[in-house]
Amino acid sequence: MFHYVPCYSNDMCFRILQARLDLSKELDNQIDQDTIWRYFRQIVEGVEHIHHQGVIHRDLTRANIFLGKNNNIKIGDFGLATFVPDGVSVKISGGVRNMAYRAPELIAQEKAKAKANDTISITQKADIFSVGLLLCDLLYQFQTDSERFIVFRDIKEGSSPDKVNPILSDFFDLNPLHRPSATVLLQRDLPWGDDRSNYVQELESKILFLEKVC
């Protein structure tokens, strides 16, 4: 069984990243690149922290990424989360909420499970695929849901739409074993910004995290 342990602080008033993106679209004021990469870095650091605790989130979407009053990222909604060590595949009972951001191997297994009434296998690399789609969302700030759907669909089918930055290529490898870990991503020479260490310290004390209880 899982339960949430919120750390009460002055920035517990969250805005959903989805609302931030939608507001920028309505105002015709796209989020600048520095902010995008700061958001993304914090998402990856959050995922790294979660994975180091032996947790797969399984539902990383715009609607589950929150912003505090200082625009620091919080990862929320662990309702589908599963405990599993890195590199290990586990059987789960499924439970789909948002298909758009799910890794293709999970979608395929969900369809097979529906027919066979069986469980599906999952590794931490499923979260990495979702992280790549989140970066795609941030970088391209799609004007319509249908535009996002088409690009995401093509990615999951193994094609490489013009919109997909080469940076994202191995995020979307159809073989989960070939996707990078969150730790490997953070070691790459990307425009992360210069406040990584400060955020990691804040993450330890303020992120919404899970505890496993017997």
- Catalytic positions: 59
**Residues 171, 174, 180, 182, Cα dihedral to 10°:** 60
Are 98 and 52 in contact, with CB atoms under 8 Å apart? no
Amino acid at position 56, single letter = I
Amino acid at position 25, single letter = K
Distance CA 129, CA 184 (A): 14
3-state secondary structure of 112: helix
Instruction: Supply the angle between the helices 125-140 and 145-156 in degrees, to the nearest 10.
Output: 140
Task: Please state the separation of Cα 72 from the chain's center in Å.
Answer: 15
